[in-house]
Structure 1
């Protein structure tokens, strides 16, 4: 994907030969990413609304509450990105205490508290939607954030470490925080309370499926590929072949998500708008606050970007599964969980471009990188004439 807005890059190409050559090397997929995502949303929405039984058929293809079409899309999306991670460099991330502590504070202290506050402030008269949003705020992202980080040229190794770290905390803290924010804290504040019935297995299963499988596959692919050939062959020949599948998986997942809820979205538009407002504020505040914190503690562009996206995203699969298991598939809590990714996808795509725009202004001394979904990053020094 281009490191800057396609329109801006095209305008500068006329006066910058180096930039022109870079733009020319971008695949059609990368140049028009927002167009493909918008098209996937429309296709999914129309299919779910106009094709009789289409959404129900997709929803029925599930094992133990896990949607197989969504699982397939996420696994295909995450595998190429995790295959690009240089696992022999993870120690450079685990030693960065500023990054690790910042991520834990943002994800497990600030994020849930912010969603709790927004849900009560903006949905005081809609208890089901309010509870659903609080559950969304507790489910930290372990899947789709991988691709947003990669598109924004974040640190792949740092993203792998932070996602793994959040997965461990998710298993430990999700149930405890759910009890605190739904039953304990509202009681202290004199507000109505709610319960949360979630099994530890549901959380572990989410982590194993949506992180464990693609992470293991990516690690083994790099390990075996470099052993059979070498790193140069692996990164210059193999990765460009599997890279586009990340975007294919993303687009497929978006189509399925919108198809599953096409009828609910179009038949209850005012409810969707009410749910969307706190989500929009949440994503914007979490991302901007995380970005500002990364700058304040002295992180560079790539790790600041990784910190922002890993803090802003949410594990919608876990949130939806918990809502359905606790309150039912037709509940307001489940609808709030479903609206989460429908708002998150376009917002975080927009924030990818915001991040790339900020890089040229806030990190002017750092080498620029052109990172396509087709392969590894190319630094500015490497592509200069």
Structure 2
């Protein structure tokens, strides 16, 4: 994303910074949706999501500082504005990622200890599970309400932001899918790898952009455009993955039945 942002948005530093932040935010939520739709490996997806969650808490701020301040200086490029603050990124990550992760861990640990795993998974999870979806939808509605005027009044800027995003999703998905095939992972794990690599945690990226640069900043606008592009593109890539399953994975037991039936 760093390379694509600099190649395609050399004259728009705010949008460029926003896209780099999007690229740093690895997907930890929606990837579970794409993985299920494409019949990927659920256990592998859960492991990758857990790794991404912990890694982002520990390294997101350092990576942001490196890609926004250090690497551009090494390459003779302009760095981010004076508004940039590593501490603001740290706080945003801890609030929007660290707190939910710790709360989820404690909820499961204490719930299973109090009533057992079967009760927790059959009675508690169905009740609290939808809260995450409601919170996500509320966040998206509020963000589009705040940035709606900028999106509708600057269609050319939105199109320019969309171009590196499109290139990013297709390159990351295609490269990771081919890598999984090359490594002989089988269809399910290959699909999981591809969607984990291609997806982004746009909620975290938007939170960091708003916390660091402001709610009406160009960086926040770039983050808001992210899900506008990511959702339809990755839905389309689900169909690509299912098509590839029946064409490129003959005899693979992890290929979903729907893909096999459509091939017949």
Distance 1:116 1:176, change over 3 A: same
Aligned partners of 2:109 and 2:36: how far apart in 1?
A: 17
> Offset at 1:204?
2.6
Distance 1:194 1:251, change over 3 A: closer
Distance 1:272 1:308, change over 3 A: same
Which one has the largest radius of gyration? 1
Aligned partners of 2:229 and 2:58: how far apart in 1?
A: 27
2:46 aligns with one of 160, 163, 170: 160
1:189 aligns with one of 75, 87, 90: 75
Quick check: 1:203 aligned with 2:88? no
Aligned partners of 1:255 and 1:318: how far apart in 2?
A: 12
Corresponding residue of 1:369: 256
> Offset at 1:370?
5.5
Structural mapping, 1:326-337, within 5 Å: 326-337=212-223
Aligned partners of 1:216 and 1:341: how far apart in 2?
A: 30
Secondary structure of the 1:261 match is: helix
Structural mapping, 1:257-276, within 5 Å: 258-276=144-162
Q: Tell me the matched-pair count.
A: 250
Aligned partners of 2:78 and 2:224: how far apart in 1?
A: 24
Distance 1:215 1:332, change over 3 A: same
Structural mapping, 1:310-325, within 5 Å: 310-325=196-211
Task: Give deviations 1:343-365, integer Å, cap 9, x for gaps.
Answer: 11111111111111111111121
Higher helix share: 2
Maintained 8 Å contact 1:142/1:211: no
Task: Give deviations 1:198-223, integer Å, cap 9, x for gaps.
Answer: 43332133224555556776788899
> Offset at 1:128?
0.8
Corresponding residue of 1:171: 57
Task: Give deviations 1:252-292, integer Å, cap 9, x for gaps.
Answer: 46962544533222111111001010001001101111111
TM-score calculated relative to the size of structure 2: 0.81
Distance 1:213 1:346, change over 3 A: farther
Structural mapping, 1:1-385, within 5 Å: 115-194=1-80, 196-199=84-87, 200-208=90-98, 211=101, 213=103, 227=118, 252=137, 256=141, 258-367=144-253, 368-369=255-256
Maintained 8 Å contact 2:26/2:199: yes
Distance 1:219 1:341, change over 3 A: farther
Maintained 8 Å contact 1:301/1:359: yes
Corresponding residue of 1:57: none
Aligned partners of 1:228 and 1:129: how far apart in 2?
A: 47
Distance 1:215 1:282, change over 3 A: farther
Task: Give deviations 1:104-131, integer Å, cap 9, x for gaps.
Answer: xxxxxxxxxxx01001100011111111
Task: Give deviations 1:20-64, integer Å, cap 9, x for gaps.
Answer: xxxxxxxxxxxxxxxxxxxxxxxxxxxxxxxxxxxxxxxxxxxxx
The answer for unaligned runs of 5 or more in structure 2 is none
Aligned partners of 1:349 and 1:210: how far apart in 2?
A: 26
**For the aligned residues, what is the CA RMSD?**
3.3
Which stretch shows the higher mean deviation, 190-199 or 300-309? Answer: 190-199
Aligned partners of 1:324 and 1:255: how far apart in 2?
A: 13
Task: Give deviations 1:129-167, integer Å, cap 9, x for gaps.
Answer: 111111111111111111111111111111111011011
Maintained 8 Å contact 1:143/1:211: no
Aligned partners of 2:32 and 2:18: how far apart in 1?
A: 24
> Offset at 1:250?
10
